[in-house]
Amino acid sequence: MLAVTLLVFMCLTASTRAEHHQPCHSPNMTGFMTVMSLKGDVRTFGAFTYDSLGKKLRFKSNDSLPVNASLAVDLLMFFEEGIFYEIDSKNQSCEKKALQCTMHPLDIPDDAAFLSTLYSGSRAIEGEGLKVNIWTGSTPDKKGHYSMAVTMGCLPVTAFMFYEPTALIFTTMNVETEIQDPELLMVPSICQGLQVEETPEGTVHSFFNEFV
Ligand SMILES: *[C@@H]1O[C@H](CO)[C@@H](O)[C@H](O)[C@H]1NC(C)=O
Ligand SMILES: *[C@@H]1O[C@H](CO)[C@@H](O)[C@H](O)[C@H]1NC(C)=O
Ligand SMILES: *[C@@H]1O[C@H](CO)[C@@H](O)[C@H](O)[C@H]1NC(C)=O
Ligand SMILES: *[C@@H]1O[C@H](CO)[C@@H](O)[C@H](O)[C@H]1NC(C)=O
């Protein structure tokens, strides 16, 4: 599995750090994402829409997949403004909350360190391999670590998030480099006019923490 390969590779190649690499930023995107815990259970699967300049992300789980996803989510994140919405369209309810950490698996943080370039699949056979750059770093509170694999065009492939006692793996699929439905990045009517809810002491709201 790619996850395990990357982990092993990360450990082996820590000394081959290349210089002169700047983290790239992913473009506008539409695609699908799976969130798994390292124990192997699928937390959720769904469609995402990402605005790279506006730093907005919508991620909505889709239960039509024949797996036991344990979480149903519909999140609209505004990383620049530092707020997000938890939408429950079945219940016609919405919560507006403050984001304490704006890291997310679709974009590499500016302070990430380049680790290495590797091929998933075959390096030699044309069309049978995927060349990715691996970036690593720590969460702002230094308690967690991440590793992100992106294509040469900066499309996210896999992101690992290690945060004791949990670890999450985010995998993206069928990514298109455009926003197919801009409506998805607008605040739905059920969320309009809400006050930001108080964050309980000690809680850190982030995209990652929504799946823990
Ligand atoms: C990305 O999407 C936003 C919102 O739809 C749009 O304003 C922006 O021009 C797009 N950027 C590119 C490079 O297409
Ligand atoms: C779930 O995915 C299926 C197949 O891609 C799609 O037809 C359906 O509209 C999606 N549902 C939601 C709620 O996104
Ligand atoms: C899904 O979860 C239910 C209840 O936890 C379990 O009985 C079932 O075997 C699971 N199915 C799959 C495909 O994992
Ligand atoms: C709808 O909201 C109620 C009260 O907030 C909650 O108990 C219930 O679980 C919600 N239903 C769904 C399907 O989320």
Average pLDDT of each block of 10 consecutive residues along the chain (212 residues)? Answer: 48 45 94 91 93 97 80 95 95 95 95 95 94 94 93 97 91 97 97 94 91 88
Closest-lying ligand 2 atom to the alpha carbon of residue 46: 14
CB neighbours of 144 closer than 8 A, spacing ≥ 6?
138, 161, 162, 163, 164, 208
Q: Residue with the nearest Cα to atom 5 of ligand 1?
A: 182
* pLDDT value of position 31: 97
Q: Is the beta carbon of 63 within 6 A of some atom in ligand 4?
A: no
In the block, residue with structure tokens 């797996």: 67
Instruction: Provide the pLDDT for residue 143.
Output: 87
* Residue 165: count of CB within 10 angstroms of its CB: 6
Residues with Cβ within 8 Å of 79's Cβ and at least 6 positions away in sequence, in order, are: 55, 56, 57, 99, 102, 104
CATH architecture of 28-211: Clam (2.50)
Identify the pLDDT of residue 13: 43
Q: What is the pLDDT of residue 8?
A: 44
Atom of ligand 1 nearest to the CA of 28: 1
Report pLDDT for 73: 94
Cα-to-centroid distance, 63 and ligand 2 (Å): 8
User: What's the pLDDT score for residue 38?
Assistant: 85
* Ligand 2 pocket residue status of 16, Cβ below 6 Å: no
Residue 208, φ and ψ in degrees, nearest 5: -60, -45
- Looking at residue 202, its pLDDT comes to 87
pLDDT score recorded for residue 20? 60
Domain boundaries, the chain: 28-211
Question: Which pLDDT does position 9 carry in this prediction?
Answer: 47
**Would you state the pLDDT for residue 18?**
47
Ligand 1 pocket test: which of 55, 179, 181, 185 has the largest number of ligand atoms within 8 Å of its C-beta? 179
pLDDT of residue 199: 92
